Amino acid sequence: MRAHVRVLLPAAAAALVLPLAANSTAGAASPLPTSAPQAAAATAWSPIPAYDRARVDHPAIYFNGCNAAREVLTPKPCTMANASAARTVLLFGDSHAAQWYSAVEGAARANGWRFRTLTKSGCSPLAMPISRYKESAPYSECGTWRTRALNGLASGAYGRIDVLVISSWQFHGVLPSWSGGTKLTGAAKTYRWEQALRTTISKSLGSATQVVVLRDSPQLPGDKPWAQRCFVRWQQWAGVHCGQASSKALLSSIWAAERRAVAAYPGRAAAADLTTAQCPSSWCGPLQGRYLLFKDDNHWTQTHVRVHLTSPVQQVLVAAMSRATA
């Protein structure tokens, strides 16, 4: 029985054209254009959500204290929907797990499931030493928080969980140990990633009947400020100028490692790729029609997640819940 699940989404806007050669650099962003006649001619154009709204189009747990800040060491699950329901879905991981919030919440409300969250920004749910974004030192607060979270899952401290949903930023810096050292690369990194996810799944199955691993969102060029400036400058042409090839935006080696980890738990874990279809013609850009998909260089807007991803996420979770209750 194959553990891998792949759900296809509607293709992005047909108007998206192939990228210009000048924007096809390997991973790094090109300097922002000094002139943009096309964008200047389109000043009346506005995306959904509008640029200012997109920048703060965060999951609800960013505003109520449920997404743990850096200094928080004790994990505390939050119940966000249907507190007295008989079936439970729990969303676990870093900000790239949290970005699935609106879709998972929508699925939970539609099906009458209790919805709980356990997230911490910058803290991968995978049991491995990591550094924070643009830092080299070990993210020790993450190590403490995650260890306690996994122990809670292993012991059943958070109660029965029918479906546990996991996702992680695919570009985390992985360290050889919590003492630090040079970040792992290549085969050493992917091997550590797979083993770490296996450990996380194994511990999670102490209280979770089913585990679903969602593939991470694409990574756009540059950093947060660059991406946000690029969206505004190029407007409806941002899909061409502010994206990059899927071979750079999505790490196939990491996804393969995640699928191997999931395959080690047949019947108990599944991997769902709802992301590849977001990159039509092997190009990952920030627009789908008038919808602005990203709030920065690597996080989806909640508007996009709610409008375009709730239905496919629900399909994945309904299937997982069916297995959990069989």
pLDDT, position 14: 32
Mean pLDDT, all residues of the chain = 90
Joined together, the tokens standing for residue 2 give: 């194959």
**Choice among 13-22, 23-32, 206-215, 247-256 with the minimum mean pLDDT:** 13-22
Q: What is the pLDDT of residues 168-195, one digit of tens each?
A: 999 999 999 999 999 999 999 999 999 9
Indicate if the pLDDT at residue 304 is higher than 80.
Answer: yes
Give the pairing of strands 208-214 and 269-273. Answer: parallel
Give 258's contacts (C-beta < 8 A, 6+ positions apart): 193, 194, 197, 213, 215, 271
Alpha carbon distance 204, 188 (integer Å): 24
In a domain, 57, yes or no: yes
In the block, residue with structure tokens 């630090």: 180
Cα dihedral 48, 52, 57, 60 sign: negative
Are 313 and 254 spatial neighbours (Cβ–Cβ below 8 Å)?
A: no
Alpha carbon distance 266, 156 (integer Å): 21
Q: How confident is the model at residue 16 (pLDDT cuts 50, 70, 90)?
A: very low
pLDDT, position 127: 98
Give the pairing of strands 67-68 and 114-120. Answer: parallel
Q: How many other CB atoms are found less than 10 A from the CB of residue 303?
A: 19
pTM passes above 0.75: yes
CA nearest 159: which of 77, 261, 68, 264? 77
In a domain, 16, yes or no: no
Q: Taking residues 42-46, what's their average pLDDT?
A: 71
In the block, residue with structure tokens 């909640």: 302
Q: Is 73 exposed, middle or buried (0-12, 13-18, 19+ CB in 10 A)?
A: middle
Percentage of residues of the chain with pLDDT beyond 90? 86
pLDDT, position 178: 96
Q: What is the pLDDT of residues 66-79, one digit of tens each?
A: 999 999 999 999 99
In a domain, 224, yes or no: yes
Domain with 152 in it: 45-325
Beta bridge partners of 67: 119
Q: Is 113 exposed, middle or buried (0-12, 13-18, 19+ CB in 10 A)?
A: buried
Asked if omega into 138 is within 30° of 0 (cis), the reply is no
In a domain, 14, yes or no: no
In a domain, 26, yes or no: no
Q: What is the CATH classification number for the domain harbouring 95? A: 3.40.50.1110
**How many domains does the chain fold into?**
1
For 225, the 3-state DSSP assignment is helix
In a domain, 19, yes or no: no
In a domain, 122, yes or no: yes
Alpha carbon distance 34, 32 (integer Å): 6
In a domain, 36, yes or no: no
What is the total residue count of the chain? 326
Alpha carbon distance 311, 324 (integer Å): 20
Residues 167-182 as b/e (b if ≥16 CB within 10 A, e otherwise) read: bbbbebbbbeeeeeee
